[in-house]
Amino acid sequence: MTSDDTGPAPGAGPVLRSNDQERKKRTVFPYVALAPAALLVLLLMVLPIGQTIWHSFTYWDGLTSKYIGLKNFQLIIHNPVLPQILLNSVIFLISVPLILAASLVTAVLVYEKVLGWRVFRFLFFIPNVLSPVIVGVLFSTVFLPAGAVDKLLSPFGLSNFAWLSNPWSARAVVILALVWTSFGFGMVVILAAMTTVDPALYDAANIDGASWWRRLRSITIPMISGSLQFLSVINVIYTFTSLFSFVFVITAGGPGFATTTVDYYTYITTFENGQFGYGAALALILFIIVLTLTIVQVKLFPNREVQQGS
């Protein structure tokens, strides 16, 4: 039932279906059609990754590079700022349970309030389509000392609080911005998962007099645990890959290095200080972190792409 289809790739021998067999003409189409995507991805993504890996072992100022072995990594290990930056990443992970909680609560509420649920789904997703730059500038403006938030809180005695000058409140503002822009996606995913839960389960629970909290804990969460895991992993990845814009416009990494993330620090060392080799080593570390998380995600959810009805 198999036949050789000699495309341009050496030794290509894909399995053809029997009714394809009579048309055993040599088809180059798949390779031609794949070429643009393959070339762009290989030349502009895979090759640069390779170059970044190579240059992380060099002294590189953007013009000349010289192999220096593990020197960059030794410098990174002894960089007094680095523990702070890694700690920041861990602190920013607080946003993951917050995003999950906000997504879950809003999804459950939207699910129960069947009337107009599309409207709420529509509204909750709005922050997701805004640029982090826009959200970030908005947040940094309203959290200025004596700004809009302070005005709101003045009855509570916080009329002139410099939110972005205190390490913890600055981090809180960044986390809040991330949670606000991200929970809509989680809500949409959870809501879709909930529509696959048999409503009879809820009816039975209602008859037994189960409380709202009890239904959430005993029916909803177990039934959608797959989606919750998926959202956890994806949001952990996002805290490493998508905080750059927020940090850039809200805090510029400060106060001190209190909100500096790995990618923001890499940006400063390379594009502002010109230490490209050192930056490449930092980027490589970030790449390994994200790659590990991606593998976790792919291994946990190999069939994530199974389509969703409704």
Partner 1 sequence: MLCLVGISTVYPLLFMALNTMKTSNAFAINPYSLPRHFSLTSFSQLFAQVPFMAAILHTLLVVVPAVVMATFFSALAAFVFTKTPVKGGNVLFWVMLMIMFMPGIVILLPLYVAIAHHGLANNFVPAILIYTAINIPYGTYLLRSNFRSIPDSVVEAGRVDGASWMRVFMRIILPIGRPGILTVGILTFLNIWNELFISLVLLHATNTEMITPTLAQLSGKYSTNVPVLMAGLLLGAVPTLLLYFVSARVFIRGMLSGAVR
Residues 98-127 that bind partner 1 (CB under 8 A): 106, 109-110, 113, 118, 120-127
Stretch that binds partner 1, among 81-89, 158-166, 198-206, 299-307 (CB under 8 A): 299-307
- 133 binds partner 1, rule: CB under 8 A: yes
- 204 binds partner 1, rule: CB under 8 A: no
By beta-carbon proximity to partner 1, the closer residue of 204 and 295 is 295
By beta-carbon proximity to partner 1, the closer residue of 5 and 218 is 5
Stretch that binds partner 1, among 69-77, 156-164, 200-208, 301-309 (CB under 8 A): 301-309
Binding mask 65-104 for partner 1 (x = CB under 8 A): ----------------------------------------
Distance CA 18, CA 28 (A): 19
Which residues in 164-193 contact partner 1 (CB under 8 A)? Answer: 180, 184, 188-189, 192-193
Residue 66: strand pairing partners: 59
Which residues in 251-280 contact partner 1 (CB under 8 A)? Answer: 263, 266-267, 270-271, 276, 279-280
Shortest Å distance, C-beta 202 to partner 1? 18
Distance CA 260, CA 87 (A): 10
By beta-carbon proximity to partner 1, the closer residue of 174 and 280 is 280
By beta-carbon proximity to partner 1, the closer residue of 44 and 90 is 44
Which residues in 139-168 contact partner 1 (CB under 8 A)? Answer: 140-142, 144, 147-148, 151-152
